[in-house]
């Protein structure tokens, strides 16, 4: 599997509009460690992982908005959040994810 940042370079060279999601904080049980990346292009193609399950789908949707607006966002998912079960993070932890447009 290629490194997500190497894929970002390649996709950028192809002229794709991109957003990069990065796990910036975890607490308790989290599916992916800090520094994990998910790359999303303007057509919703993606590589990498920041969590899995429905959380990944929610991050991809937010990344599409970041690509359009250019405004970075910090997302938080956790069991204390009412949406934790809704987006699939029922593992007892919390994650914060920075989503930013590249280029």
Model pLDDT for residues 47-96, shown as the tens digit of each residue = 999 987 778 999 999 999 999 999 999 999 875 545 545 555 555 678 99
| Arithmetic mean of pLDDT over the chain | 87
Better-scored residue on pLDDT, 32 or 46: 46
What's the domain range around 14? 4-102
Q: What is the pTM of this model?
A: 0.86
**Contact between 52 and 33 (Cβ < 8 Å):** no
pLDDT-derived band at 27, boundaries 50, 70, 90 = confident
Q: From CA 22, how far away is CA 96, in angstroms rounded? A: 8
Query: How many domains does the chain contain in total?
Result: 1
- Report pLDDT for 61: 96
Residue 96 phi, psi (nearest 5) = -120, 135
Measured from the Cβ of residue 32, the count of other Cβ atoms closer than 10 Å reads 19
């Amino acid at each position: 599997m290629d490194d997500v940042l190497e894929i970002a370079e390649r996709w950028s060279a192809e002229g794709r509009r991109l957003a990069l999601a990065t796990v910036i904080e975890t607490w308790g049980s989290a599916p992916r460690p800090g520094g994990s990346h998910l790359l999303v292009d303007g057509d919703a193609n993606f590589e990498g992982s920041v969590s899995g399950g429905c959380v990944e789908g929610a991050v991809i949707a937010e990344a599409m908005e970041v690509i359009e607006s250019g405004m970075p966002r910090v997302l938080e998912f956790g069991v204390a959040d009412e949406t934790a079960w809704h987006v699939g993070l029922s593992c007892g932890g919390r994650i914060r994810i920075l989503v930013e447009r590249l280029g």
